[in-house]
Amino acid sequence: MQERNLEDATIRKILTATKIIITQDYISFKGNPYLQKNGLEMCVPTSSILSEIDLQHLENIKIYDILKNSRVVGYFRNVDDVLLIDNETLTDIADVISSFNDLTPSLNFTLERQIENKLNYLDVSLIETTENYPSIYI
């Protein structure tokens, strides 16, 4: 049996604090209070941490299987921006996006294809060339 690094009491405290954080759904905009109906509270540092934990969990339990079964060549993610590299003869990218969107109703993945061998990702222009390596322009 694997030994736990945290005591049960500490784990309960972390879970209680997390539950309090994610149920605080009132936000203020231009001095007016609003009830945020979906998602984590905006502009709160813990929201980005909890979002990252959730995305990593999805990657580990579902996304990697989708990528493997669809024969996706490359998967790169920075926060909520994902770059997929596929071989069009092996992968139906529309099916991959559909599978991603079926994971959870709170996430919506969209597809942006390269135009004239160029794709912008994270303020970088990726350009596909005939050589075995891409040219990257910043």
Burial class of 66 by CB neighbour count within 10 A (0 to 12, 13 to 18, 19+): buried
Q: Which two tokens stand for residue 17?
A: 């604090």
Q: Assign 121 a pLDDT band (cuts: 50, 70, 90).
A: confident
Q: What is the pLDDT of residue 138?
A: 43
**What pLDDT does residue 67 have?**
94
Query: If we measure between CA atoms, which residue out of 92, 88, 105, 96 comes closest to residue 66?
Result: 96
Please state the domain extents for the chain. 71-137
pLDDT digit string, tens, across residues 54-71: 899 999 999 999 999 999
For residue 33, which amino acid is it? Answer: P
Query: Does 1 score more than 70 pLDDT?
Result: no
**Where on the phi/psi map is residue 31: left (φ > 0), alpha (ψ -120 to 50), or beta?**
left
pTM of full prediction above 0.85: no
